[in-house]
Amino acid sequence: MASVTTMLRSAGRADAAGWRRFVPTPKVLIVGAVIVVIGYLAVVPLYYLLWGTFFGADGFSLAGFGRAYGNDRIVGLVGNSLWFAFGAAILSLVVGTGLAYLQVRTDVPFKSLFFAASIIPLIIPGILYTIAWIFLASPDIGLINAALKPIFGGAVVDVFTVWGMIWVEGLHLSPLVFLLMVAAFRSMDPSLEESALMSGASRWTVFRRVTVPLVRPAIVAAVLIMTVRSLESFEVPALLGLQNGIYVFTSRIYFTLRTYPPDLPAAGALATGLLMIAIVGVALSSLAGRGERTYQTITGKGFRPRPMELGRWKPVAGAAIVLYFALTVVLPLLVLVYTSFLKFYRAPSKDMLTSLTLENYQDLIHTSSAMTALKNSVLLGVGSATIVMALMAIAAWIVVRSRIPGRKLLDHLSFLPLVVPGLVLGLALSFVYLRSPIPIYGTLFILLIAYVTRYLPYGMRYAVTSMHQIASELEESAQVSGASWWQSFRRVLLPLLAPGLVAGWIYILVVSFRELSSSILLYSPGKEVLSILIFEQFENGQFPVLAALGVVMVLTLVVLVSVAYKLGAKVGLKQD
């Protein structure tokens, strides 16, 4: 009887179902919207970038390339870029790998300093780090030069050279290498080294013939990633290189756009070149990363990493760590704090110390530009973090759980912005919205779009990792209990995802505060964010006020980062 009723019912519905197929359910609407938005954000700017580069007022043209790379400029440009990028990558690799080895595999003292040093790139924005090094090592005003002048009779170090750029960028990147290599060393079974030692090999032979070959994939990946990041770096080349006319891709793009009238096709040609190099680098590094997995096939059950005893080298290693910590953390922060208490920037002397003042901090509160910039930074940070994590919660479901065809493509699309240098994205977005009939250019919205696009990959990583940690049975049992897709998403998945989403949210908030390279091409006067304001103040020579603003910014970030770190540890995520 029951089956007859069912049959009747389903027969009656057959027509209705055919008709209803075209009425979108909330699931289709939401999923569709997310796919469209992510696709738009990831693809449209690149399309316009290429279009704007190759099509001028009079159709297809390669004139932009001629103006960008011509007059033998290409040799100096590419040469400087690669010299700078490889130099910084090698410096960060040597320092970061050495520290990671000491941290993971030896009984080196001061291990707690590593933690502090490894989150510094999150805490000190690149622009402040670069400015701090100008205060330290500029030939005219650098404190190090001032201190050494009596001994050597002149400026000893000059930060406004390619070597200076390599030094600052390399040190700023070294904590990232450290984190990458710590992971590599941790995943290596220590008995692989111990067995080599038992075979009679010396420590050096073990390092050369066992340790290095085993982490080689990680080393190759680290070099490539750091090279790409150095190539994309804007702060260091702009503040240090332009002074003496040392151009790399990013600073040349910036310079090309700042001259009047801005040569958009030439800038586009440079940006396209930079983008190509970045794509090649990222592709190679992911290939190298794939090789790593084949080496991780055998690890023992009894996995007990025992630290190697350094013996009489212990004090040497300890001193190296203290020196590293002083160079990367203490000196740059100290010089900022020192400068923030001065009326005029000068080297310290006896009568200087009596004239320390809090005026700069009072100025910050009373100047409207600082307050506006802070407000804009907070608005953009909160806005972009919220939008990204909301998009990515759905996108992660599509990628991890759904059977929607093309979900892999969505995964790749979300990671696409990772390859695009910030300055290139800024340029691409200005190509899009200069032409757009919607008046977005010159408002905060264009910055919001830039930030959301740039941080899609980070949001994706947090959301996907959290989604993987939730057993699919939890969602299925909700559906069996009668919940609709949206109900089970909202009532079951979302609460379980929450810790990961919140951690990602705070991470994006933190990195958005440091964003400079996209903003610099998209902001308009009166709509500054904190990093832009610091850049402007530097160009105007307002060093003490800038330092005070920097100190406030660093303190804010310290609070945010420590919250993010706590939450990140809770959901098992490591930040880079």
Partner 1 sequence: MLTIDHLVKSFEGEKLKRRKRKQAQQSQQGDDALPSRVFAVNDVSLEVQTGELFTLLGPSGCGKTTTLRSIAGLETPDSGTITVDERVLFSAKGSNGNGRAVNVPANKRELGMVFQSYAIWPHMSVFDNVAFPLQVKPRNQRPGKAEIEQRVHRVLETMELRKYADRQATKLSGGQQQRLALARAIVIEPSLLLLDEPLSNLDAKLRESLRYELKRLQRELGITSIYVTHDQIEALALSSHVAVMREGNVVQLGKPRDIYQNPRSKFVAEFIGTSNFIPGTVASSDGGHYSVETTEGRLTLESAASMPAGTEVVASIRPECVGLHTERPGNVPNVWEGKVTTRAFLGDAVDHVVVVGKHEIRARCAPTVSVEPGTTVFLHLEDDKLSLVPID
- What are the residues whose beta carbons fall under 8 Å from the beta carbon of 329, sequence distance 6 or more? 116, 117, 120
Closer by beta carbon to partner 1, 205 or else 355: 205
CB of 216 vs partner 1, minimal distance in Å: 8
3-state secondary structure of 42: helix
Closer by beta carbon to partner 1, 151 or else 298: 298
Closer by beta carbon to partner 1, 195 or else 481: 195
Closer by beta carbon to partner 1, 303 or else 313: 303
The string of DSSP codes covering 47-81 is HHHHHHHHEETTEE--HHHHHHHTTTHHHHHHHHH
* Phi/psi at 368 (5° precision): -70, -30
Cα angle 458-464-465, degrees, rounded to a multiple of 5 = 95
Q: Burial-class residue 377 by CB neighbours within 10 Å (0-12, 13-18, 19+).
A: buried
Confirm if 110 and 192 have CB atoms less than 8 A apart: no
Closer by beta carbon to partner 1, 196 or else 508: 196
Confirm if 470 and 497 have CB atoms less than 8 A apart: yes
List the structure tokens of 396. Answer: 């992660």
Closer by beta carbon to partner 1, 158 or else 189: 189
CB of 305 vs partner 1, minimal distance in Å: 12
CA–CA separation, 293 and 57 (whole Å): 50
Q: Helices 444-468 & 368-400, crossing angle to 10 degrees? A: 40
Closer by beta carbon to partner 1, 192 or else 242: 192
Closer by beta carbon to partner 1, 3 or else 294: 294
Confirm if 506 and 557 have CB atoms less than 8 A apart: no
CB of 368 vs partner 1, minimal distance in Å: 50
CA–CA separation, 496 and 466 (whole Å): 8
CB of 224 vs partner 1, minimal distance in Å: 20
Confirm if 265 and 56 have CB atoms less than 8 A apart: yes
Closer by beta carbon to partner 1, 299 or else 357: 299
User: E-assigned strands of 132-193?
Assistant: none
Confirm if 347 and 134 have CB atoms less than 8 A apart: no
Q: What is the 3-state secondary structure (H, E, C) of 486-530?
A: HHHHHHHHHHHHHHHHHHHHHHHHHHHHHCCCCHHHHCCCCCCCH
- What are the residues whose beta carbons fall under 8 Å from the beta carbon of 9, sequence distance 6 or more? none
Confirm if 257 and 521 have CB atoms less than 8 A apart: yes
Cα angle 76-94-165, degrees, rounded to a multiple of 5 = 35
Total number of residues shown for the chain: 576
CB of 307 vs partner 1, minimal distance in Å: 11
Closer by beta carbon to partner 1, 261 or else 302: 302
Confirm if 281 and 77 have CB atoms less than 8 A apart: no
The dihedral sign for the CA sequence 390, 462, 507, 515 = negative
Closer by beta carbon to partner 1, 306 or else 574: 306
Residue 434: CB atoms within 10 A of its CB come to: 14
Amino acid letter for position 19: W
CA–CA separation, 135 and 142 (whole Å): 5
Query: What residues make contact with partner 1 under the rule CB under 8 A?
Result: 189, 191-192, 194-203, 205-206, 209-210, 213-214, 216, 294-295, 297-303, 306, 309
List the structure tokens of 505. Answer: 């949210």
Closer by beta carbon to partner 1, 196 or else 374: 196
Closer by beta carbon to partner 1, 4 or else 298: 298
